[in-house]
Structure 1
Amino acid sequence: MKEALSFNLTEIIPWIYVLRPKTLLASFPPIFIAGSYSFFKRGEFEYLTIGLSLTVLLLFHLAVNVINDAIDFKKGGDTSLRLGPLRMTASGLLDSKVVLQAGILLIALAIIFSFPLILKGGWVVGFSVFIAALATYAYTGGPYPLAYIGLGELFVLLFFGFLATMLPFFIIEKTINLDIFLASFQTGLLSVSIIMVNNLRDIEEDSLTGKKTLAVRLGKNLYRSLLGVCLFLPFLLNSYWLSKPLMLGPIFSFIAFPMACFILMGVYTNKPSQIYNKYLALAALSNFLFGFGLSIGFILEK
């Protein structure tokens, strides 16, 4: 019995690492914000739409992680210089072809779960899901992978900011307004800060392997400054909600501000090293708490 259990765990644990469950925090804030602001507007919560939207986003997010693990290995992006968590294909624990197939399967599942949303939201939703599916693969796959040509940050802003927030809201309300656009920009910037900490950590390895991330293109100093913008601009934009006036969202979301300060101080005072993994986790938590705080504010303001 113990041998069987040990065998099963040995098989399962590498797949857990491939899925990178810790990164999934980034999928929750845009859905929280879309659902809570819709509740603020209409006084009722669309549980099915929000639940399906979160499921689809999580599946796409998992697909990005899995495909990234497989293709980074093929492209030689993961080396012995790696400072981040161990990659399963690069370490030889999983076959890259099998991992890539799993990523494609996750994309297919995301599309299947999106069918009810497409039926409710129409062609705009269908087209958005199609683009999301292509972008999920193109992040590290294809002839011009976004992560390898300095467009990873733009991908995250569009995918985990604007699209992930505005699309569920559009499905429910059949419209888009300035409020939801701004909220999607706020959570999108904080999502971008996550990948920016990641790229700062890996800047030396990426420059050696020919991975032209935005960090490699801009250099450490300018890229750190851009990270500061992504960390603090969402809090400055809270002044918009205060002018509405919607007071509670900005107040509750401010809980994430000390983390943003700590992250920026950390990347300025420490050279890229494994300590950046701590800043990466804090960036994900900061994004989650900001989105959660803003969402609770919308609900309580109703």
Structure 2
Amino acid sequence: MSSVQNQNMKASLNEREGFQVWWRLLRPHTLTAAFVPVFIGTMLAAIEQSINFWLFLAMLLASILIQAATNMFNEYYDYVRGLDTENSVGIGGTIVRDGINPRVVLSLALSFFAIAGLLGVYICLSSSWWVALVGLVSMLFGYLYTGGPYPIAYTPLGEVTAGFFMGTIIIGISYFIQTLSLTIEVVLISIPVAIFIGAILLANNIRDRVGDAENGRKTLAILFGHKGAVRFLISLFAGAYALTITFILFGFLPYWALISLFSVRKAVDAIKGFKGKSEPLEMLPAMKATAQTNTVYGLLLGISLLLQLYIPLG
């Protein structure tokens, strides 16, 4: 790639120098997938009893650090395997375009894991050591998502794995450390959140489908093809919203949770953004809208639980 093409690529991706290089390494658009489950799990606990703010803060920071570290492992191992180049669209690009030493990226990821581990010790001391076991398994899968001999991200199980660990598990832990219990209602409520998180990965894989196929990946987007993957994304959105409405009708969620349906607009934007598109750069707005769907839905659902705490509607 020529220097002119490289500059055009950076302009298209809205990339900047200096601090922005390190900020992109964190892939900030994915970090809401770490915040939302902690917020929802804690608000579910708050409806039943008062919460420990410091436990909430520790869990939130640990979750964000693990997500950021997972992103760094992704960047490092995709580079090592030769999957990321200067032409790759949508990645952080700190290694292939900004020239950051790969060892630095790997060291930062391991450091973030270590800090998350220390926060985990505090969380366990304040709640239960069972959390340590679940946390270690979650960190292991965060590494194996793109690390190890058989990366999960390169298989059809990427979306399910991400949704389960970043959605159901984090919501469950966030609730458990506050109440020292776990209910079937909490697990069920976590499912739409898990679906939206999985949808973020699916959107990413739709965008990268052609390049991933050339590099031997077997993601759902590759197996379904572009049109099939978009239809599957539609079904994920529809399923998540249908479950939300069902949980409201059955009393698992308060009527306030209806405000989470305002996120449908972002879901529609995501679907429209994928239809008729073939170039990765064209699909970046659709991927952004998918991530925003999760963010808006999660924030509104968490706010609905907070409203229920102070203004009960049933």
TM-score normalised to the size of structure 1? 0.91
Which residue number corresponds to residue 24 of structure 1?
31
1:275 counterpart SS class: helix
Matched residues, percent identical? Answer: 25
> Counterparts in 2 of 1:1-302, with a 5 A limit?
12-42=19-49, 44-85=50-91, 87-91=93-97, 93-238=99-244, 239-244=246-251, 246-302=253-309
What are structure 1's unaligned runs of at least 5 residues? 1-8
Q: Post-superposition shift, 1:279?
A: 1.5
| Aligned-partner Cα distance in 1 for 2:36–2:279 | 28
| One-letter identity of the residue aligned with 1:209 | N
Q: Post-superposition shift, 1:243?
A: 2.6
- Asked if the contact 1:252–1:297 (Cα under 8 Å) also holds between the matched residues in 2, the reply is yes
Please provide the CA RMSD for this pair.
1.9
2:95 counterpart SS class: coil
| Aligned-partner Cα distance in 2 for 1:125–1:73 | 33
- Asked if the contact 2:26–2:92 (Cα under 8 Å) also holds between the matched residues in 1, the reply is no
| Aligned-partner Cα distance in 1 for 2:76–2:84 | 10
TM-score normalised to the size of structure 2? 0.87
| Aligned-partner Cα distance in 1 for 2:40–2:94 | 34
- Structure scoring higher RCO (CA < 8 A, sep ≥ 6) equals 1
- Asked if the contact 1:199–1:213 (Cα under 8 Å) also holds between the matched residues in 2, the reply is yes
| Aligned-partner Cα distance in 2 for 1:272–1:119 | 50
2:275 counterpart SS class: helix
Aligned CA distance change for structure 1 residues 203 and 10 (closer, same or farther; 3 Å) = closer
| One-letter identity of the residue aligned with 2:116 | A
| Aligned-partner Cα distance in 2 for 1:188–1:159 | 8
Which residue number corresponds to residue 5 of structure 2?
none
Aligned CA distance change for structure 1 residues 11 and 298 (closer, same or farther; 3 Å) = closer
| Aligned-partner Cα distance in 2 for 1:199–1:279 | 12
Q: Post-superposition shift, 1:301?
A: 1.7
| Aligned-partner Cα distance in 2 for 1:86–1:187 | 25
Q: Post-superposition shift, 1:81?
A: 4.4
Which residue number corresponds to residue 4 of structure 1?
none
| Aligned-partner Cα distance in 1 for 2:95–2:253 | 48
- Asked if the contact 1:248–1:294 (Cα under 8 Å) also holds between the matched residues in 2, the reply is no
Q: Post-superposition shift, 1:40?
A: 1.1
| Aligned-partner Cα distance in 1 for 2:92–2:248 | 42
* CA deviation profile, 1:114-135 (whole Å, cap 9, x unmatched): 1111123323201011112211
2:99 counterpart SS class: coil
Which residue number corresponds to residue 4 of structure 2?
none
Aligned CA distance change for structure 1 residues 275 and 130 (closer, same or farther; 3 Å) = same
| Aligned-partner Cα distance in 2 for 1:171–1:254 | 29
2:83 counterpart SS class: coil
- Asked if the contact 1:249–1:293 (Cα under 8 Å) also holds between the matched residues in 2, the reply is no
Q: Post-superposition shift, 1:166?
A: 0.6
1:219 counterpart SS class: helix
* CA deviation profile, 1:179-224 (whole Å, cap 9, x unmatched): 2112211111111111111100000110111122221233223322
What are structure 2's unaligned runs of at least 5 residues? 1-15, 310-314
Aligned CA distance change for structure 1 residues 141 and 242 (closer, same or farther; 3 Å) = same
- Asked if the contact 1:248–1:298 (Cα under 8 Å) also holds between the matched residues in 2, the reply is no
Q: Post-superposition shift, 1:10?
A: 5.5
- Asked if the contact 2:86–2:96 (Cα under 8 Å) also holds between the matched residues in 1, the reply is no
- Asked if the contact 1:202–1:272 (Cα under 8 Å) also holds between the matched residues in 2, the reply is no
1:244 counterpart SS class: coil
Q: Post-superposition shift, 1:169?
A: 0.5
Aligned CA distance change for structure 1 residues 82 and 245 (closer, same or farther; 3 Å) = closer
- Asked if the contact 2:75–2:91 (Cα under 8 Å) also holds between the matched residues in 1, the reply is no
